[in-house]
Structure 1
């Protein structure tokens, strides 16, 4: 055995021992070592870095997740990362997927499947004033982030059975799909894009929504009633102004996230 290997073997042994100690340490103890203050609060953290569970995840008195469990995924080591299978309740719906972190600061999510009730989702994100009911489903094939901003996203959000519940009788809106993707921005950061289209129902929808790194966001949609749409749908769309020659109403919004 060469002198280099003789010197390297004990070092690798020490590194493996330290990793093992951290991995088997109580998760609650490791959490206390995190920099303070943190923007999120954790309830009833138990288990270890290998297998563990938390009762709840809060941000500004808003419950983001609960009953979250994680299980170490050793195969992530082949991609130079530390990965887990995550399962639990997120934003009011059930979720199951894989997450991985790398030493160079990249966090990725793969094969995430989640879904739940629209009303519960709106309450979780602080938009419960919107009178919308229905079901939502997220099929996220891949997403990656570096720092505090996503660098890639590939997935689909489906809103099904949507109704507008402002009034005595709910107004059926139908099903809408949003394809999630990213595109390069002028500042070098990725721009998050949602391309929307209606699947079925009395309302046709198509267009895009974009979110920029500097917190700017814009929405550009076209809406029109189908031939069999009830009169109330046409009345609602009339509030957007005059339609074009093809019967489309334009909805454009720009703003900045707080």
Structure 2
């Protein structure tokens, strides 16, 4: 009887070590990826591994690393830390993820990239080209229909510039607050959060629909070519602010 117990214990220990030390490259052989996603240079185990490059939908992330916290499995969840790139990479970020059968939670997300990486090959209205740096910070996010159940964070845009058939528009820097309302992502800004006097709110809704209700009021820091084109937005209100409204699909999608 003791021999059987020892045998069973030995088999269990062997299986545990087998799972813990299983190479990530072996596991990924059994994973069917979308045709738009390619990975190269897989190293390490499923618990602590790395990927040299991940190509997805015309964008590329480098030096993707993850580390799973095994004790989280006891609660029926998968908790892991994820790091992407370095400060010289096109995409640099880190976060803590919790995955369950019903939801995805993100904690302490930090992401640095640029507008060209985000926009990719999407065609924007008026043949617009956008340049600028993007810093995203999210303290908490929980997935829900259509986008979120909880969201707390902010988005910073630096040296934002739009070039199109109407001219060059250097908009400068923006700080945008982010939260969640009935599943929609809400993005807000005030006149104090940017140098061109924009204030208002944007709703990101289901099916990539977006609604914008905002206004722009001339400031001393507003570039002349931006000020000269404000009349195209309509008539200003009593405070001298011009309307910024839009309702439809996200431009470029």
Distance 1:126 1:41 in 2: 23
Residue 76 (structure 1) shift: 3.8
- Count of residues paired in the alignment: 241
Distance 1:69 1:212 in 2: 32
Q: Structure 2: where are the runs of 5+ without partners?
A: 1-6
Residue 32 (structure 1) shift: 2.2
Q: Structure 1: where are the runs of 5+ without partners?
A: 1-9, 185-189
Distance 2:209 2:105 in 1: 24
Alpha-carbon spacing, 1:105–1:20, altered in 2? closer, same or farther (3 Å):
farther
**C-alpha RMSD over aligned residues:** 3.4
**TM-score normalized by the length of structure 1:** 0.77
Aligned pair partner of 1:158 in 152, 156, 159: 156
The SS at the match of 1:69 is strand
**2:78 match:** 82
Q: Which has the higher contact order (CA 8 A, sep 6+)?
A: 2
Residue 40 (structure 1) shift: 2.5
Aligned pair partner of 1:177 in 175, 178, 181: 175
Distance 2:208 2:41 in 1: 33
**Cα pair 2:196 2:221 within 8 Å, conserved:** no
Residue 146 (structure 1) shift: 5.5
Residue 25 (structure 1) shift: 1.6
**1:135 match:** 133
Residue 231 (structure 1) shift: 2.9
**Cα pair 2:43 2:50 within 8 Å, conserved:** yes
**1:53 match:** 50
Residue 233 (structure 1) shift: 2.0
Q: How does 1:181-200 map to 2 (within 5 A)?
A: 181-184=179-182, 190-199=183-192
**TM-score normalized by the length of structure 2:** 0.78
CA offsets, 1:79-131, max 9 Å, x none? Answer: 542222111139933101111212x3322111011113334443377769643
Alpha-carbon spacing, 1:120–1:210, altered in 2? closer, same or farther (3 Å):
same
**2:3 match:** none
Aligned pair partner of 1:203 in 172, 196, 212: 196
**1:31 match:** 28
Q: Does 1:115 align with 2:108?
A: no
